[in-house]
Chain A
Amino acid sequence: MPQSDCLDVVLYKDRAMDVINSAQTEYKKIETKHIDFFPKIIEKMQTSTLNQQITQDSTNEVETVKLNLMEILRSIELLTSQVNDDHKEFQKTISRYEKVIDKKWKQDITIASNPDAFVDKEPVLQRTIALHFIRQGKFKLVDTFMQDTQLMDFTTDLQEQFDHMYEILDAINNFNLELALEWAKSKRKELEQRGSSLEFDLHRLHYIKYLVKQQDRKGALNYARLNFNDFQTRHMHEIRRLMCAILYIDRLESSPYADLTSNDAWTDIQTTFTRDFCNLLKMSCDSPLYTSLTVGSTALPTIIKMATIMKEKKNEWSQQDELPVEVPLTDDMRFHSIFACPVSKEQSSEDNPPMMMPCGHVICKESLNKLSKGNGRFKCPYCPSESTSNQAVKTYRTVFSRMATRDVILGLIIVAADAEILTYFDMKF
């Protein structure tokens, strides 16, 4: 991370903490004010001279009554103005805090949204929410939601799947792996094809359970004999290591196998299991709604800033195909390979695909056409070699479909390591 970025992070963090801290201080003030505001008023009402005045016996003497009434009036005025002052002061405290909030959140967040974007899509949005509830195992909530929205009950099948998943996860949480193993065995082929070693990982953990939790040498050995056989081709190395660990069963913590005792393995296996289970259902590990919302709140400051500037310039952006600025994404939120032309800085599209020149550098078609101005010779912007535009190859369609790396398309250049691989590009250099 470049230094300026680091600074940014520190500053950001400070700014957020500033707000939280000042919110806390201001809130303390409101709390204390509130706690003594009303008792103070009530006390004033009780100790007010009014109470004595009105209990005084009213004689019929005109002058006394006059005086008494004047006193009462003055007391009422005094009491009212005192309460008024207190009330005003309390409201002021609230206003001060409101100002702190307004200062931090200057923009109305709705500036970042297009109120019409989801019009007529309410059922889709509700379906998304229902799926989100199912993904979290909130089945009773789904039932209520179905009643509230009168959506069709479309999800029973999926509900059963996730019910099963949560049952297994629950068991793992209680250090019981039987259910998970049963499932993994039934899906062995699919898992292996995905390159997942879940089944072995589960057996491994089960074996470790004998070793660490029960310190049962015999049980561990038996378990290994019974279950490791199926995995010897793929996991020989690890199996050897596990078997060696049995020698240190009494003092694993101080042995070279101390890592086996870590409890993290039990949380890790839950993550792996959830991922594999969802992936076999052709679903993501996290609920997509959760992912989108998390990305959304990170994206909002950038979009709000952009929308504010666009509004000042009276430019419309929400109807366009592409945002005018890049919303930064964390690496785990980048799901697709993207080719941005290094010359025009535009993303490739169907009409404007990336083109590879004979030298191996890739730029988009429009930039290529501009450089070659029709059909003439031109120099690659990144190296001294010259080429003509008809020598360039559409990477998307030809080269990469042959390579089957459609989603690995190119960084600025991909140069294969040796001539053998260059044949995959089907190009002669």
Chain B
Amino acid sequence: MADRFDSDSLLALEKAFLKVPLVQLRGSTSKAYKNFEKESKHLQTQIKQLQNEIALNNKVDADKIREIHENIEKWLGSSKLEFLEAHREGQKHVARGRQRVDHLSEVSLITNIYDPKYKEWTGKRADRVIVDYLLREGFRDTAIQLARESDIESLVDIDLFTEAHVIEQALRKNRCTEALRWCNENKSSLRKINSTLEFILRVQEVIELCRENKREEALKYSKEHFKAYIDVNKKGVQDVKKTDSQSGPIRRRDNVKTISSDDPLYKQYLQMMGALAFPPNTTCKPYKALYDPIRWERLIARFRIDFYELNALPSQPLLNVTLQAGLSALKTPMCYQHENKNIDCPVCSPDTLGTLAKDLPMNHHVNSTLVCRISKKIMNEDNYPMILPNGCAYSRDALAEMASKNDDKVTCPRTGEVYEFSKCKKLYIL
């Protein structure tokens, strides 16, 4: 166990680390491509229309031909620019991805845990994990400064979290626009994970309109935006139910999410429509809840979950996950007993990590361990315990080293008493 070096577990945290630039790369190329394709389809129908017209009238409208030619040129020109832009953007992500792969490869140079490279690498990882936490909690300035000081800017995702931060701030100010724009940009990916984010954002917008007593607008808004979800045609709903009853709450049909009548979202929708009839100061329970500002907190939470999932980020900060695992592994009952504290043990600090570890399970041990107080090393047959005349016991190696430096005398660190090394007796562990 002692020096066991397991580079596999060294990589336990790195999934998102490798995946995030990939997701970004994919995003940066598909946007340009999507526009290109959309415009191409548009042109094709335009041309086909013109062809039909010509066939019908047997006459050519020179203006229309010119228009098509212009459109094609515009299409080629703007696509070229967009592809070039996407190339630049993508290159950034490719470079970051390369730096990350290279950073992980440094693990192969580490031979054991006493290697200075080990400390350097794990130190960098600790910084990365802390930056991830800081960014998620919105402490951007600290995050950026730490990334710069530790020279890990390419190894953390400042830009990505900044994007999320801007949207979150807007939601905090009760504004959905940014979040809805994000939903629109990521429509297909959100659909893939059955996200309800856009729906609840829309509901919130209607509620806000009701709050401001703009019922006409609220009605208009809901007509405009919920058509896509709520299939007015009852037969349609039933059809969906029959064919898709196994899949998630939101069904997909012709690329439009529809909601069946037994769906909780449908209830929410009905309730929202009901809110049109109730003022914001209503005491009627379900409607009072709709006007509750806590809904905004939930919206933010929902947005975070979807944003993290879409970008291959874990739902919890890496710091929390890693710290919990570490504290559990280190925690012993002794950490909370005053006379048994060890200043080197993280869990023994009552004000900080000790408090954090309080509700975590402690590690399971099937074998006994004897730890020397001086050298902090494990005592075993090779480094056996020796007992001082005052009754304190320490490891042989530690006492011998002390004696060799101090003219064959040892000082008990607990009591400060000084003894001849030869007065120390061996204890046997059988």
A94 contacts B26, C-beta separation under 8 Å: yes
> B370 to A97, Cβ gap below 8 A?
no
Stretch of B72-80, B152-160, B162-170, B241-249 at the chain-chain interface: B72-80
Docked-complex contact B430 and A413, CB < 8 angstroms: yes
A140 partner residues in chain B, CB cutoff 8 A: 145
A288: chain B residues at CB < 8 Å are: 346, 349, 352-353
Choose among A20, A72, A77, A294 the residue that contacts B72 (Cβ–Cβ < 8 A): A72
How far is A140 from B139 in the complex, measured between Cα atoms in Å?
15
Nearest-CB distance from B410 to chain A (Å)?
7
Cβ contacts under 8 Å, A69 to chain B: 47, 50-51, 54, 65, 68
Chain A residues with CB below 8 A from B15, complex form: 101, 104-105, 109
In chain A, what residue has the closest Cβ to B414?
A404
Determine whether the beta carbon of A322 is less than 8 Å from that of B62.
no
User: A residues 229-248 with Cβ under 8 Å of B?
Assistant: 233-238
Query: A315 near B: Cβ within 8 Å?
Result: no
- Report B29 CB to chain A, min CB distance, Å: 6
Determine whether B293 belongs to the interface, using a CB cutoff of 8 Å to chain A: no
Residue-by-residue, is A89-122 near B (CB-CB < 8 Å gives 1, otherwise 0)? Answer: 0110010011001001100111011110110011
Interface members, chain A 138-190 (any B CB < 8 Å): 138, 140-141, 144-145, 147-149
Please tell me if the beta carbons of A124 and B355 are within 8 angstroms of each other in the complex. Answer: yes
User: Which candidate, A219-227, A250-258, A337-345, is the interface stretch facing chain B?
Assistant: A337-345
A268 at interface, CB cutoff 8 A: no
Q: B340 near A336 (CB under 8 angstroms)?
A: yes
Q: Is the CB of A128 within 8 A of B149?
A: no
> Is B348 located at the chain interface by the 8 A CB criterion?
yes
Chain B CB within 8 A of A311 CB: no
Q: Does the CB pair B60–A62 fall under 8 Å?
A: yes
With beta carbons under 8 angstroms apart, the residue of B48, B126, B134 that contacts A290 is B126
Most buried by B among A24, A90, A112, A195: A195
CA distance in complex: A236, B83 (Å): 77
Q: Which residue of A lies closest to B416 (CB)?
A: A193
Stretch at the interface among A208-216, A324-332, A371-379: A324-332
Judge whether A117 and B371 touch: CB under 8 Å: no
- A391 at interface by CB-CB < 8 Å: no
Q: Which residues of A contact B390 (CB under 8 A)?
A: 404
Interface range, B side: 35 or more
Q: A343-357 interface mask toward B, CB cutoff 8 Å, 1 = contact, 0 = none?
A: 001010110000000
- CB proximity of A348 to chain B, nearest CB, Å: 8
Choose from A91, A327, A340, A404 the contact partner of B368 (Cβ within 8 Å).
Answer: A340
- Report the number of A-B residue pairs with Cβ-Cβ less than 8 Å: 479
Q: Are A410 and B368 in contact (CB under 8 A)?
A: yes
Q: Would A416 and B360 count as touching, CB distance under 8 A?
A: no
Tell yes or no: B374 within 8 A of A by CB. yes
Q: How far is the CB of A218 from chain B (nearest CB, A)?
A: 28
Dominant secondary structure of chain A at its interface with chain B:
helix
* 8 Å CB interface, A365-395 against B: none
B47 A58 Cβ-Cβ under 8 A? no
- What separation, in Å, do the CA atoms of A321 and B328 have in the docked complex? 10
Which residues of chain B are within 8 angstroms of A296 by Cβ–Cβ distance? 321-327, 329
Q: Is the CB of A413 within 8 A of B315?
A: no
Complex Cα distance, B328 from A336, in Å, reads: 14
The yes or no answer to A217 lying at the interface (CB within 8 A) is no
CB <8 Å contact, B366 and A101: no
In this complex, which of A144, A325, A411 has the most chain B Cβ atoms within 10 angstroms of its Cβ? A411
Interface string of A254-288 (1 = CB under 8 A from B): 00000000000000000000000001001111101
Report the Cα distance A304→B104, complex, angstroms: 21
**A91 in contact with B130 (CB, 8 Å):** no
- CB neighbours (8 Å) of B11 from chain A are 16, 19-20, 104
Bound Cα distance A77, B47 (Å): 12
Would you call B369 and A118 a contact (CB within 8 A)?
A: no
Query: Which residues of chain B are within 8 angstroms of A114 by Cβ–Cβ distance?
Result: 324, 359-360
A110–B315 CB distance below 8 A: yes
Q: Report 16 cross-chain contacts, Cβ distance below 8 Å, ordered by A residue.
A: A1-B2, A20-B104, A23-B18, A94-B25, A101-B15, A109-B15, A128-B353, A293-B322, A337-B371, A347-B333, A349-B333, A403-B393, A404-B390, A405-B392, A418-B425, A420-B425
The 9 closest A-B pairs by CB, nearest first: A296-B326, A335-B345, A288-B346, A411-B429, A296-B322, A105-B15, A38-B87, A292-B326, A148-B139
Contacts A292-B346, A405-B387 known; 11 new A-B pairs at CB < 8 A: A27-B97, A48-B76, A66-B55, A73-B44, A104-B15, A141-B146, A292-B327, A328-B4, A330-B1, A347-B332, A415-B430
